[in-house]
Amino acid sequence: MTLDTIPRDVNARVASVEMNGAHGLRLMEMGLVPGAPVRVVKAAPLGDPIQVCVRNYHLALRRVEAQSIEVTLGE
């Protein structure tokens, strides 16, 4: 499953990030590398973008971007 589909406040881990140019690279540089724990905090009032917590800080990303991140649920 991908980061945009998991329920909020559930612990997950990044499985893989689709590399489509600078875009995927930037996501990984921000700490979303395979193995990193990640949690969806909430979605913005209009449903998009979403707020995730990764490496103890908060990051906003759009759903299309979250789609390129495969995650697995659980610690």
Partner 1 sequence: MSAILDTPVIDQSAPPLEAKREATIVVAGNPNAGKTSLFNSLTGLRQKVANYPGVTVESKMGQWTLSPELPPARLIDLPGLYSLAATSLDEEIARDILLGRGPTSMSADTIVVVVDATNLVRNLYLATQLIETKQPIVIALTMFDLAERSNLKIDVQKLSDALGVPVVPVVAKQRRGLEDLAKAVTSIIDRGRANSVVLLADGNNDHERQSTLIKRYALIERIVSDAVESTNEGKHSVSERIDRVVTHKIFGPLVLIVVMLLVFQAIFSWASLPMSLIDNVFSALSDAVRAHLPAGIFTDLLTDGIIAGVGGVLAFLPQILLLFLFISILEDSGYMARAAFLMDRLMRAVGLHGKAFVPLLSSFACAVPGIMATRTIENPKDRIATIMIAPFMSCSARLPVYTLMIAAFFSGRKVLGVISLGAVIILAMYILGIAVAIAVAWILKHTILNAPPPPFVMELPPYRIPDFGNVGHALLSRCSIFLKRAGTVILAISILLWALMAFPRAGSVPSGQDGDRAAQIENSLAGRAGRLIEPAIKPLGFDWKIGIGLIASFAARETIISTLSIVYNVGESPDNKSSLVDALRNAKRTDGSPLWTPLVGVSLMIFFLLACQCMSTVAIVRRETNSWRWPIFMVGYMLVLAYVASFITYQGGHLLGFS
3-state secondary structure the chain: CECCCCCCCCEEEEEEECCCCHHHHHHHHCCCCCCCEEEEEEECCCCCCEEEEECCEEEEECHHHHCCEEEEECC
**One residue of 1, 8, 10, 41 binding partner 1 per CB under 8 A:** 41
The yes or no reply on residue 61 touching partner 1 (CB under 8 A) is yes
Contact between 74 and partner 1 by CB under 8 A: the answer reads no
Can you give the binding site for partner 1, defined by CB under 8 A?
A: 17, 19, 21-31, 33-34, 36, 41-42, 44-49, 51, 53, 55-62, 64-65
